[in-house]
């Protein structure tokens, strides 16, 4: 659009340009309820400069500037203008901002104007006025209902290469910015007694009633101003204008200490017990203020909820009803009264109801010529005749618009009257009203279905509402202002009463007279042009008819086949008309046809706000060990294990990769001494007279017999007989044990123990609490570990092998009186200890042990080396404790007690779990010792085909063994224990591996265990 | 207390430095890491809840709460921490676990948690709004008052929070390993209100 | 969904871990394989009111018996599992 004047109908002269360097706003009126004429703002649309005022939306500012053409339609690329003045807008969809803050698919009708706003139209290429894809409308037959299904069937490979890129360009889906969103989003929660959704007349009355009762109230309004339709209409409440009443109501609510007003906030869903809402904190600003989020996700937990979501006007379905300049009648009044913008110079109004007649009066009052009032009804009220006459509009009752003219903007309309006579009107604005549909989306988010009312020609809220919800105002189907004020007051007072407050109904002010009588008109027959039902997805009445002929009769089928109501506007303007047409074509009633289910979100919600701060490194909380800062200083590489960050390995300069480092670290443990933070293992303090009884029931092996001061390895099963977890448990006193779990299962084992003690055996006197975080625990492992430990234990504690043998534990003091716990346990198979101190001393203890161990060659090691050491010793860990292995499978079958009951005992004996051909734990080494093993490879006999049927198990863990000088592994192999010495293949189709491996004992280093007992 | 040769280290040493953060000139949130707290978990032995309450009353003159409440003061408080379970929290140098053991004997199982939890004190006029960004419980004065406590989630992290006074000020205890992540949530949540981080104390 | 923990008060479902049917009882150790199989694997799937075990994982660590309509998520009662378990005849190991 080069100049605004191009859009004028020829017979109307453009006003003289304003004396200003700013672009003129030739369609701006003198009076406006909602814009600040003193505050001028500059913006650009498709690179062209325009001006507007604070209080404008992008849509109202574009209209003020004379811009009509704002987009191209989705499928046919037809020129489209602004249809509505609210969130239901299907056409005026733009990209806001540019660069990393570019936001596609924004509705111009709700985008608040700000200084410097840049907006770009979508769905056009290369430009809005000249759109190559506009040819789509000439090939429209192939783009009819079901075209996605019919056209893009074959061959499948065309989808990625041809169809999808083509559809994306042609259909003009918005572009994501491709950069990281520079803004932040946050989430917050609020609680209240009464949540009021919508701040129109009903919502304001509801909030006032609840606030006056003393309730905590949250009032959410999607718009940036409170008032709803009060801003759009010239009405009287009490003896003053509705705007004055609104100002007073708003002032009272603002002054109420327990009322939170959330403007720019869309409630998009009702979830069980909570509402989700998005507050657009910074969307109306070029850049969010420092420390403010762009958007805030609210979770609102309310005792009662009053839905005052209003209603949305329906378009009329007639030929070429989509030209720029065809607008909903209510939106026309909004632009005139609220924004002070004339959406045209010469209008025709087309309606099937009484309400739309006020459009004629409002346009006339604003100085816009009204050529005709076309009322589809044969009879109209004297009031309507009077309005038409006063405005100088020709009244055509029982008539319909059958054609429109104009290419990039509306230039005229053809009216066919009851007698079949055609009347031609020049006009640049066509205000249409097919009646109003209550906004019932949120009422059906709990599965309730809206109910069709023949009398009101509308879907009304279901009788089964989400718990705690009441509906008031136009959303109930009673759109009259007087009814809205009354039902809002009633619902607000009742909600407060049900939330526990004493209430009285506030006085309900009188209003001026009104009528909303309506006679449905679902489509105008006989027009030639396409009659659109769903503007955003380009679904015309003919598409609905075609779908019906092709057998798509159920609502949900029709919806998917035609894509009616499936665009970003969620069919806000199209659903009812679509259903009515479907009912007509199926020769059924609308009630019989049903409605589609409304699912959250009611309005599009950005992924950013749903994620809040939880993205990138903040995706989830991480848990740090007591020696984390020390390990960071050492240059450790960390890895996530569950929520924990653990040191994976400690690279030294010159080491090529993790394998070199881990090999060095593992060798140091075998030959000297190593240190490893093992604090992440779950530690559970189990106390009470029945502590041993509980342990005997949750472990497969015996614990009652464990002497004080000793540690025992235990394995616990799930009730289905598979292994749940393993670890060591120490007996600190007769009635006190310290259980350790694997890092991964710490939380689930705790929960399991609570289950056992609270639910299965509530009579047991046993108390449990996690002490994982209380103690820093460091493994000191290797032949020189005793010397290191000697350096810290206080005098008087004998750690000789005789006094403190393998599997001992003690509470003692170290470093001059610090209480500590010492365990002689070994995961590495070497002489080893685990030393625990209160967590705050973990860092200092690690530094002290490093210092003491320096002359002994002490080496910190990470979990890679830990893994090497345990594979060498054949200890099962996470890969072997997969939830699909039995104790017998991993070589622990003999631990299962035959003399007591324990969790999993009965089911462990079932046939499937005791079958002799189950895969069991074996060690493997490559026949070619230079070869590298890979975990995940499958065992196949040497001379069979590579088929799943021949699969005999798989490699669970592998490691390069510094002790043996070659790769080794653990695996689960059918009848593995009988097959020691046999050679099978480790077949790895994913990585192209096929190696011969020898089956050996899982314990490949120090099989007699002399080292750990030394 | 015995002089020991190891220095203690806070899990927040690297992430919570005293100073001012966020909105300049505003102090909506004041954060302080608590130090020198002795924390011992008490779990009543089966059927001994009544006897335990009597023993606590006799020994310290405090009523052991049976609902999510805190009884006591800065020197010694009993904080409800689940069914038949409490945290005893004391300031000072005595051995809290020993003194509890002496007076409560086998009425309760005792577990030292002094190192298992990090405790932050939060105060300032915008504390509630800050906390609402991570805690889903209702901290409105009609719903949560001084002496109330709750076990819940803060920024997806398990915490126990209790209110000290109407300022409002709160203390919030978190598993030590998650303390850094909790700060990683709290400081960004409060920055729009301005934050003062006090030296630990 | 919001669950009123008898100890902690009303909380969002995100604080709880669902476990399953609260009507099944762990069999006597000497029970038949069929009985054990039924206990571990067989569950009714009623459309309507159901008795379920939930764990207040992010709160007091209590196991709860929640009476809930699985179609509407309406909750009729929440009881400490331990109280329910103590009220029934103790099963010895
Ligand atoms: Zn609870």
Tokens of A65: 């500037």
Residue C93 — pLDDT band, cuts 50, 70, 90?
A: very low
- Mean per-residue pLDDT for A316-343? 97
Q: Is residue A401 part of a domain?
A: yes
Tokens of A308: 């005052």
Q: What percent of chain C has pLDDT over 90?
A: 86
Q: How far apart are CA B97 and CA B38, in angstroms?
A: 8
Residue-by-residue DSSP string for B63-117: PPPSSSBEEE-SSEEEEE-STTEEEEEEESSS-HHHHHHHHHGGGEEEEE-TTTE
Which pLDDT score is estimated for A505? 87
Residue A446 — pLDDT band, cuts 50, 70, 90?
A: confident
CA angle A811, A813, A817 (to 5 degrees): 150
B23 Cα to chain C: minimum distance (Å):
32
> Is A138's pLDDT higher than 60?
no
Interface contacts (A, B; CB < 8 Å) = 153
CA torsion A667-A669-A670-A673 (nearest 10°) is 130
C33 Cα to chain B: minimum distance (Å):
34
**pLDDT tens across A27-70, in order?**
999 989 999 999 999 999 999 999 999 999 999 999 999 999 99
User: With an 8 Å Cβ cutoff, are A184 and B111 in contact?
Assistant: no
Neighbours of A1006 (CB within 10 A): 17
Residue A140 — pLDDT band, cuts 50, 70, 90?
A: low
User: With an 8 Å Cβ cutoff, are A273 and C27 in contact?
Assistant: no
Q: Identify all chain A residues contacting C37, using CB atoms and an 8 Å cutoff.
A: 907, 910
Q: Is residue A504 part of a domain?
A: no
Q: Are residues A844 and A819 in the same domain?
A: yes
Q: Are residues A46 and A157 in the same domain?
A: yes
Q: How far apart are CA A815 and CA A823, in angstroms?
A: 17
Q: Is residue A176 part of a domain?
A: no
**pLDDT tens across A491-534, in order?**
999 999 999 999 888 899 999 988 989 999 999 988 788 999 99
C39 Cα to chain B: minimum distance (Å):
28
Q: Which of A185, A261, A193, A177 has its CA nearest to residue A226?
A: A261
Q: How far apart are CA A34 and CA A16, in angstroms?
A: 25
Q: Are residues A380 and A520 in the same domain?
A: yes
Contact of C53 with chain A, judged by CB distance below 8 Å, is answered with yes
- Mean per-residue pLDDT for A759-771? 97
Q: Which of A150, A148, A152, A141 has its CA nearest to residue A542?
A: A141
**pLDDT tens across A406-437, in order?**
989 999 999 999 999 999 999 999 999 999 99
C2 Cα to chain B: minimum distance (Å):
11
Q: Which of A450, A276, A344 has its CA nearest to residue A63?
A: A344
Tokens of A789: 């430990």
Around ion ligand 1, residues with a beta carbon closer than 5 Å are C 5, 7-8, 56, 59-60
Domains in chain B: boundaries: 20-35+116-197, 37-112
Q: Is residue C93 part of a domain?
A: no
Cβ–Cβ under 8 Å, residues A523 and A554: no
Q: How far apart are CA A5 and CA A187, in angstroms?
A: 46
Q: Are residues A32 and A158 in the same domain?
A: yes
**pLDDT tens across A4-24, in order?**
333 333 333 344 444 457 889
**pLDDT tens across A928-952, in order?**
999 999 999 999 999 999 999 999 9
Contact of B137 with chain C, judged by CB distance below 8 Å, is answered with yes
Contact of C12 with chain A, judged by CB distance below 8 Å, is answered with yes
Q: Helix, strand or coil for residue A486?
A: helix
Q: How far apart are CA A546 and CA A548, in angstroms?
A: 5
Q: Which residues contact A54 (CB under 8 A, 6 or more apart)?
A: A35, A36, A39, A41, A113
- Tell me the CATH number for domain B37-112: 3.30.70.1520
Residue A537 — pLDDT band, cuts 50, 70, 90?
A: confident
Domain range for A925: 916-1014
CA B15 to chain centre: 19
Q: Which residues contact B76 (CB under 8 A, 6 or more apart)?
A: B60, B62, B88, B89, B90
**pLDDT tens across C1-48, in order?**
899 999 999 999 999 999 999 999 999 999 999 999 999 999 998 999
Cβ–Cβ under 8 Å, residues A474 and A485: no
Where are the strands (E) in A511-656, listed by range? Answer: 532-534, 539-540, 623-624, 637-641, 644-649
Q: Which of A263, A208, A277, A194 has its CA nearest to residue A231?
A: A263
- Mean per-residue pLDDT for C55-65? 98
Q: Which of B117, B97, B116 has its CA nearest to residue B108?
A: B97
Which pLDDT score is estimated for A75? 78
Beta bridge partners of B70: B79
The alpha carbon of A102 and the centre of ligand 1 are apart by a number of angstroms equal to 45
Which pLDDT score is estimated for A145? 61
Domain count, chain C: 1
Q: What is the CATH number of the domain that holds C53?
A: 3.30.2270.10
Q: What is the CATH number of the domain that holds A360?
A: 3.50.50.60
Which pLDDT score is estimated for B92? 84
Q: How far apart are CA A913 and CA A908, in angstroms?
A: 6
User: With an 8 Å Cβ cutoff, are B181 and A622 in contact?
Assistant: yes
The alpha carbon of A751 and the centre of ligand 1 are apart by a number of angstroms equal to 13
Tokens of A834: 């685990």
Contact of C49 with chain A, judged by CB distance below 8 Å, is answered with no
- The backbone region for A26, taken as left when phi is positive above 0, alpha when psi lies in -120 to 50, beta otherwise, is alpha
- Mean per-residue pLDDT for A368-373? 97
Q: Are residues A697 and A759 in the same domain?
A: yes
Q: Which of A888, A892, A897 has its CA nearest to residue A705?
A: A897
**Minimum CA–CA partner of B137 in chain C:** C11
Exposure letters A61-74 (e unless 16+ CB within 10 A, then b): bbbbbbbbbbbbbb
User: With an 8 Å Cβ cutoff, are A759 and C63 in contact?
Assistant: yes
> Is A1006's pLDDT higher than 80?
yes
Q: What is the CATH number of the domain that holds A972?
A: 2.40.30.110
Q: Is residue C60 part of a domain?
A: yes
Tokens of B36: 């020198």
A549: enclosing H helix or E strand: helix A541-549
The alpha carbon of C9 and the centre of ligand 1 are apart by a number of angstroms equal to 7
Which pLDDT score is estimated for A612? 67
**pLDDT tens across A701-747, in order?**
999 999 999 999 999 999 999 999 999 999 999 999 999 999 999 99
Tokens of A569: 């506007």
Q: CB-CB: which of A643, A818, A839 is closest to B116?
A: A839
Q: Which of A807, A825, A818, A814 has its CA nearest to residue A788?
A: A814
User: With an 8 Å Cβ cutoff, are B114 and A838 in contact?
Assistant: yes
Which pLDDT score is estimated for A365? 96
The mean predicted confidence, pLDDT, of chain B is 95
The mean predicted confidence, pLDDT, of chain A is 90
Which pLDDT score is estimated for A229? 96
Q: Are residues A144 and A9 in the same domain?
A: yes
Query: How far lies A538's CA from each of A69, A91, A567, in Å?
Result: 16, 10, 10
Which pLDDT score is estimated for A748? 96
Which pLDDT score is estimated for A16? 44
Where are the strands (E) in A153-273, listed by range? Answer: 185-197, 217-220, 236-237, 240-241, 259-262, 265-271
B181: enclosing H helix or E strand: helix B179-190
Which pLDDT score is estimated for A594? 78
Tokens of A847: 């530094």
Q: How far apart are CA A856 and CA A189, in angstroms?
A: 56
Q: Tokens 């007051």 identify what position?
A: A489
**Minimum CA–CA partner of B175 in chain A:** A773
Which pLDDT score is estimated for A8? 37
Domain count, chain A: 7
Q: Is residue A926 part of a domain?
A: yes
- The backbone region for C73, taken as left when phi is positive above 0, alpha when psi lies in -120 to 50, beta otherwise, is left
Q: Are residues A812 and A669 in the same domain?
A: yes
Where are the strands (E) in A387-490, listed by range? Answer: 394-397, 400-405, 412-416, 422-426, 429-433, 436-438, 451-453, 458-460, 469-471
> Is A378's pLDDT higher than 70?
yes
Query: How far lies A866's CA from each of A121, A780, A882, B140, in Å?
Result: 59, 12, 19, 50
Which pLDDT score is estimated for B51? 97
**Minimum CA–CA partner of A296 in chain B:** B133
Q: Are residues A442 and A485 in the same domain?
A: yes
Which pLDDT score is estimated for A13? 38
Q: Identify all chain B residues contacting A842, using CB atoms and an 8 Å cutoff.
A: 9
Q: Identify all chain B residues contacting A837, using CB atoms and an 8 Å cutoff.
A: 6
Better pLDDT: A229 or A158: A229
Q: Is residue A160 part of a domain?
A: yes
Q: Are residues A648 and A599 in the same domain?
A: no
Cβ–Cβ under 8 Å, residues A488 and A473: yes
Cβ–Cβ under 8 Å, residues A164 and A120: no
Q: Which residues contact A730 (CB under 8 A, 6 or more apart)?
A: A710, A711, A737, A738, A809, A821, A823
**pLDDT tens across A141-186, in order?**
555 565 555 544 444 555 555 555 555 554 445 555 556 666 778 9
Q: What percent of chain A has pLDDT over 70?
A: 90
Cβ–Cβ under 8 Å, residues A362 and A235: no
Q: How far apart are CA A111 and CA A92, in angstroms?
A: 10
A749, A754, A768, best to mutate vs chain C, most C CBs in 10 Å: A754
Q: Is residue A511 part of a domain?
A: no
pTM comes to 0.90
Residue A54: HSE in the Cβ half-sphere, 13 Å Cα cutoff: 6
Q: Which of A265, A288, A326, A331 has its CA nearest to residue A59?
A: A331
Which pLDDT score is estimated for A19? 46
Pairing between strand B169-175 and B117-123? antiparallel
- Peptide bond before A711: cis, by omega within 30 degrees of 0? no
A474 Cα to chain C: minimum distance (Å):
27
Residue-by-residue DSSP string for A940-1002: E-TTS-S-GGG--EEEEEEEEETTTTEEEEEEEEETGGGGTT-EEEEEETTTTEEEEEEEE-S
C9, C82, C83, best to mutate vs chain B, most B CBs in 10 Å: C9
- Mean per-residue pLDDT for A198-210? 98
User: With an 8 Å Cβ cutoff, are C36 and A906 in contact?
Assistant: yes
> Is A584's pLDDT higher than 80?
yes
**Minimum CA–CA partner of C17 in chain A:** A751
Q: Is residue A177 part of a domain?
A: no
> Is B2's pLDDT higher than 80?
no
Tokens of A546: 């075609």
Tokens of B17: 């430095």
Which pLDDT score is estimated for A346? 97
User: With an 8 Å Cβ cutoff, are A755 and C63 in contact?
Assistant: yes
Query: How far lies A730's CA from each of A56, A683, A704, A744, A870, in Å?
Result: 72, 10, 11, 20, 21
B20-35+116-197 placed in CATH 3.30.428.10: no
Q: Are residues A190 and A222 in the same domain?
A: yes
Residue A123 — pLDDT band, cuts 50, 70, 90?
A: low
C-alpha torsion sign, points B80, B82, B86, B89: negative
The alpha carbon of C46 and the centre of ligand 1 are apart by a number of angstroms equal to 26
Domain range for C38: 2-88
CA angle C72, C77, C82 (to 5 degrees): 130
Tokens of A945: 């085909």
Q: How far apart are CA A710 and CA A732, in angstroms?
A: 8
Q: How far apart are CA A901 and CA A889, in angstroms?
A: 20
Q: CB-CB: which of B82, B137, B153 is closest to C60?
A: B82
Q: How far apart are CA B179 and CA B40, in angstroms?
A: 19
Q: Helix, strand or coil for residue B201?
A: coil
**pLDDT tens across C40-58, in order?**
999 998 999 999 999 999 9
Cβ–Cβ under 8 Å, residues C15 and C64: no
Q: Is residue A756 part of a domain?
A: yes
């Amino acid at each position: 659009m080069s100049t605004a004047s191009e859009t004028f109908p020829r017979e109307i002269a453009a006003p003289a340009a304003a004396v200003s360097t700013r672009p003129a706003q030739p369609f701006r009126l003198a009076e406006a309820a909602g814009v600040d004429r003193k505050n001028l703002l500059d913006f650009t649309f498709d690179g062209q400069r325009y001006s507007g005022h604070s209080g404008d939306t992008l849509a109202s500012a574009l209209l003020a500037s004379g811009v009509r053409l704002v987009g191209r339609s989705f499928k046919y690329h037809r020129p489209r203008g602004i249809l509505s003045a609210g969130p239901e807008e299907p056409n005026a969809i733009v990209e806001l901002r540019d660069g990393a803050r570019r936001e596609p698919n924004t509705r111009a009708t709700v985008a608040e104007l700000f200084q410097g706003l840049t907006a770009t139209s979508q769905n056009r290429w290369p430009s809005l006025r000249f759109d190559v894809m506009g040819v789509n409308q000439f090939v429209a037959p192939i783009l009819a209902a079901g075209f996605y299904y019919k056209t893009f069937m074959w061959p499948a490979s065309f989808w990625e290469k041809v169809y999808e890129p083509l559809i994306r360009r042609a259909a003009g889906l918005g572009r994501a910015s491709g950069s990281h969103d520079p803004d932040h989003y946050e989430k917050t929660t609020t609680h209240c007694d009464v949540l009021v959704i919508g701040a129109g007349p009903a919502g304001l009355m509801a909030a006032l009633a609840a606030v006056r009762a003393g309730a905590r109230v949250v009032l959410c309004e999607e718009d940036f101003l409170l008032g709803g339709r009060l801003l759009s209409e010239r009405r009287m409440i009490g003896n003053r204008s509705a705007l004055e009443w609104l100002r007073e109501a708003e002032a009272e609510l603002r002054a109420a200490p327990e009322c939170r007003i959330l403007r720019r906030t869309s409630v998009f869903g009702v979830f069980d017990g909570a509402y989700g809402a998005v507050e657009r904190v910074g969307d109306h600003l070029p850049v969010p203020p420092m420390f403010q989020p762009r958007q805030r996700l609210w979770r609102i937990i309310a005792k009662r909820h009053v839905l005052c979501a209003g209603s949305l006007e329906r378009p009329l379905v007639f030929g070429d009803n989509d030209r720029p300049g065809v607008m909903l009648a209510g939106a026309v009044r909004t632009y005139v009264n609220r924004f002070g913008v004339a959406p045209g110079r010469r209008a025709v109004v087309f309606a099937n109801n009484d309400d739309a007649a006020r459009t004629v009066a409002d346009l006339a009052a604003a100085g816009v010529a009204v050529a005709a009032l076309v009322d589809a009804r044969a009879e109209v009220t004297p009031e309507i005749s009077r309005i038409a006459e006063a405005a100088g509009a020709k009244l055509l009752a029982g008539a319909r618009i059958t054609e429109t003219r104009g290419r990039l903007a509306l230039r005229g309309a053809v009216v066919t009257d009851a007698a079949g006579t055609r009347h031609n009107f020049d006009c640049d604005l066509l205000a249409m009203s097919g009646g109003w549909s209550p906004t019932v989306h949120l009422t059906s988010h709990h599965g309730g279905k809206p109910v069709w009312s023949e009398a009101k020609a509308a879907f009304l809220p279901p009788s089964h509402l989400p718990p705690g919800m009441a509906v008031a105002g136009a959303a109930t189907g009673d759109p009259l202002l007087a009814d809205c004020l009354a039902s809002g007051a009633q619902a607000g007072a009742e909600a407060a009463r049900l939330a526990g407050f004493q209430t009285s109904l506030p006085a309900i002010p009188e209003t001026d007279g009104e009528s909303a009588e309506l006679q449905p008109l679902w489509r105008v027959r006989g027009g030639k042009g396409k009659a659109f039902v769903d503007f955003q997805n380009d679904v015309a009445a003919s598409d609905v008819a075609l779908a019906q002929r092709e057998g798509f009769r159920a609502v949900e089928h029709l919806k998917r086949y035609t894509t009616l109501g499936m665009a970003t506007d969620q069919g806000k303007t199209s659903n009812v008309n679509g259903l009515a047409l479907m009912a007509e074509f199926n020769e059924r009633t609308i009630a019989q046809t049903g409605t589609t289910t409304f699912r959250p979100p009611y309005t599009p919600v950005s992924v950013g706000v749903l994620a809040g701060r939880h993205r990138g490194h903040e995706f989830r909380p991480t848990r740090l060990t007591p020696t984390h800062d020390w390990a960071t200083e050492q240059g450790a590489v960390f890895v996530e294990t569950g929520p924990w960050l653990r040191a994976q390995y400690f690279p030294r300069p010159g080491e090529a990769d993790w394998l070199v480092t881990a090999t060095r670290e593992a060798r140091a443990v075998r030959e000297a001494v190593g240190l490893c933070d093992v604090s992440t293992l779950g530690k559970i303090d189990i106390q009470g007279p029945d502590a041993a009884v509980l342990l005997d029931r949750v472990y497969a092996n015996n614990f009652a017999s464990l002497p004080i001061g000793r540690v025992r390895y235990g394995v616990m099963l799930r009730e289905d007989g598979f292994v749940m977890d393993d670890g060591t448990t120490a007996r600190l006193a007769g009635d006190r044990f310290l259980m350790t779990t694997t890092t991964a299962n710490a939380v689930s084992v705790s929960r399991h123990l609570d289950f056992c003690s609270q639910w299965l055996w509530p009579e047991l006197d046993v108390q449990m609490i996690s002490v994982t975080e209380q103690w820093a625990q460091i493994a000191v492992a290797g032949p020189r570990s005793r010397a290191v430990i000697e350096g810290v234990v206080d005098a008087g504690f004998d750690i000789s092998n005789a006094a403190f043998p393998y599997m001992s534990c003690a509470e003692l003091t170290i470093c001059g009186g610090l209480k500590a716990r010492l365990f002689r346990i070994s995961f590495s198979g070497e002489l080893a200890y685990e030393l625990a101190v209160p967590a705050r001393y973990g860092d200092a203890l690690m530094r002290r042990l490093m210092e003491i161990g320096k002359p002994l060659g002490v080496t910190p090691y990470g979990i890679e080396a830990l893994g090497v050491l345990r594979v060498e010793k054949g200890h099962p860990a996470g890969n072997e404790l997969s939830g699909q292995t039995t104790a017998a499978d991993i070589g622990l079958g003999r631990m299962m007690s035959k003399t007591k009951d324990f969790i999993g005992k009965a089911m462990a004996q079932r046939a499937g779990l005791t079958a002799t051909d189950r895969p069991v734990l074996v060690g493997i080494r490559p026949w070619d010792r230079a070869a590298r093993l890979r975990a995940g490879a499958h065992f196949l006999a040497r001379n069979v085909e590579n088929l799943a049927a021949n699969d005999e198990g798989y490699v669970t863990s592998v490691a390069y063994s510094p002790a043996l000088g070659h790769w080794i592994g653990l695996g689960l192999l059918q009848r593995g224990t009988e097959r020691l010495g046999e050679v099978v293949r480790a077949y790895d189709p994913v990585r192209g591996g096929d190696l011969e491996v020898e089956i050996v004992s899982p314990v490949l280093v120090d099989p007699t265990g002399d080292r750990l007992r030394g | 207390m015995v002089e020991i040769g190891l220095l203690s280290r806070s899990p927040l040493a690297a992430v919570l430095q005293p100073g001012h953060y966020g909105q300049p000139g505003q102090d909506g949130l004041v954060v302080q890491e608590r130090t020198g707290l002795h924390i011992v978990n008490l779990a009543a032995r089966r059927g001994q809840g009544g006897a335990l309450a009597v023993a606590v009353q006799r020994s310290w003159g405090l009523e052991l709460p049976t609902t999510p409440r805190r009884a006591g003061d800065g020197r010694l408080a009993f904080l409800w921490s689940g069914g038949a379970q409490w945290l005893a929290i004391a300031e000072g140098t005595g051995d809290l676990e020993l003194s509890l053991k002496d007076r409560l004997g086998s009425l309760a199982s005792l577990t030292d948690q002094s190192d298992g939890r990090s405790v932050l004190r939060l105060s300032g006029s915008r504390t509630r709004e800050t906390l609402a960004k991570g805690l889903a419980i209702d901290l409105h004065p009609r719903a949560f008052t001084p002496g109330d406590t709750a076990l819940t989630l803060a920024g997806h992290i398990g915490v126990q929070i209790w209110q000290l006074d109407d300022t409002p000020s709160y203390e919030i205890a978190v598993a030590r390993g998650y303390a850094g992540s909790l700060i990683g949530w709290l400081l960004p949540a409060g920055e729009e209100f301005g934050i003062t981080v006090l030296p630990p104390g | 969904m919001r669950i009123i923990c008898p100890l902690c008060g009303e909380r969002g479902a995100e604080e709880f871990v669902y476990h399953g049917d609260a009507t099944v009882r762990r069999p006597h150790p000497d029970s038949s394989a069929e009985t054990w199989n039924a206990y571990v694997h067989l569950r009714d799937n009623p459309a309507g009111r159901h008795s379920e075990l939930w764990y207040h994982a992010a709160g007091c660590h209590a196991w709860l018996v929640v009476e809930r309509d699985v179609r509407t998520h309406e909750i009729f009662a929440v009881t400490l599992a331990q109280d329910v378990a103590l009220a029934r005849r103790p099963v010895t190991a």
